[in-house]
Homo-oligomer: A and B are copies of this chain.
Amino acid sequence: MALKKKPVTGMKDMLPREMQIRDYVIRLIKETYGTFGFSSIETPCVEHIENLSSKQGGENEKLIFKILKRGEKLKLDTAECEADLVDGGLRYDLTVPLSRYYSNNVSELPSPFKALQMGNVWRADRPQRGRFRQFMQCDIDILGEPNNLAEIELILATTTLLGKLDFKNFTVRINDRKILKAMAAYSGFEEKDYDDVFIILDKMDKIGLDGVEKELQEHGYPKEAVEKYLQLFKEITNDIEGVRYCKEKLEGYLEEATADGLEMIIASVDSVKEADFKLSFDPTLVRGMSYYTGTIFEIAMDEFGGSVGGGGRYDEMIGKFTGQPTPACGFSIGFERIVMLLLERGYEIPDNKEKLALLIEKGMPQEKMLEVLAFAKEQRAVGKQVMLSIMKKNKKFQKEQLSQEGYTEIKEFFK
């Protein structure tokens, strides 16, 4: 039977050129996050279907690749619904598995625990350009650290990495869910409406201040509240001054510690940052995931329309699973987007490895062959990449191909 040649819908084969970039970025991530004390961990790609359907994943739970029960557990004839047939699924993110991992292994892990996870996740999204159904996620999380040292370290580690990949002039937007709420409360919105208000606020990027005002009014929120709310956004600046303004203006609605913490984070990162980027206080930053409880952040790059990473504090999630309240904060970078940007700009890996091709005439006698092999061994031992090939009839074409692959030095051996 003929094989289906294409990969399954929405997934892709990685060609050598892309893999070179991926491998390089992976190496750099492990190295850079390593200097910050993050430890690599891994969880299985398959998770219990119950864990994946626990309402932590929001919309992603609709996109699960589900796995059929096996052997005697599979009772096809009596199955009435999906749940009778399925016992696992491919993970759709790395955060739910991290929570399971932490609760399963907490006794063997240091506290706080700084975890680095790189792994594929799967979502049965509608396929579209640049978006795949299998993609690599790269998360760093600090579990058990309530202090905002966690935020500082996460932002420094992530931006140091991006700097090493020659990304410049990007912005890390930061906000705090508590500021979001205080601003809504101060303006006079009712608590039950907060989430809807934030959904509209989240469109600021696209529809602007006027658009947000219009939508809020259309939703029938009190005119006074809408005006007061909008005025705030006009007055708050995107820097430490903006944070201080919030602290003063929102007195009674916002704990001082929240504003002080944010100020501390911004001042610290600004003072010691390695990469060329701006840490910008952005009171319009919402981030969809409802599990965030404190700081939230997102990386914006002009080259790329949307976000290339983000994260925040989720102090309640792990506790929900384990029963043990555990402060947690994480930062995820968009690995696939970063690789795409690097590929698009023709990124050259800083790789000094010399590439040498040895062409061997067919029918080379044993003795001479051993000489060639010994030469190859010698060159490899000093770190060169050596390609041994049998000489082809069309040697010119063969040499062209090899030089395209980066083999700039080519030696020929005749029998």
Chain A residues within 8 Å of B, Cβ to Cβ: 1-8, 11-16, 19-20, 22-23, 27, 30, 34-37, 39-48, 50-51, 54, 65-68, 70-71, 74, 76, 79, 81-82, 85-88, 90, 99-101, 103-105, 108-110, 112, 114, 120, 122, 124, 134, 145, 147, 149, 152-153, 156, 160, 264, 267-268, 271-272, 274, 321-323, 353, 360, 362, 366, 369-370, 373-374, 376-377, 380-381, 383-390, 401-402, 405
Copies of this chain assembled into the complex: 2
Instruction: List the 4 closest A-B pairs by CB distance, nearest first.
Output: A11-B44, A37-B387, A16-B39, A3-B321
Q: A8-B46, A384-B35 are in contact. Are A149 and B19 (CB under 8 A)?
A: no
- A3-B149 contact, Cβ under 8 Å, with A23-B30, A46-B11, A68-B82: no
Shortest Cβ distance from A378 into chain B, in angstroms? 9
**A104 partner residues in chain B, CB cutoff 8 A:** 5-7, 13
Partner of A70, one of B101, B124, B145: B124
- Bound: A384/B103 CA distance, A: 30
Contacts of A110 in B (CB 8 A): 401-402, 405
**Shortest beta-carbon distance from A349 to chain B in Å:** 12
A68 near B85 (CB under 8 angstroms)?
yes
Q: Which residues of chain B have C-beta atoms less than 8 A from A34's C-beta?
A: 353, 385
Given contacts A41-B15, A384-B35, contact A2 B145 (CB under 8 A): no
A264 adjacent to B68 (CB under 8 Å):
no
A323, B7: Cα distance in complex, Å: 18
Contact across chains for A19 and B5 when beta carbons are under 8 A apart = no
Contact of A122 among B5, B46, B85, B323 (CB under 8 A): B46
Q: Which residue of B lies closest to A40 (CB)?
A: B19
Chain B residues within an 8 Å CB radius of A66: 67-68, 70
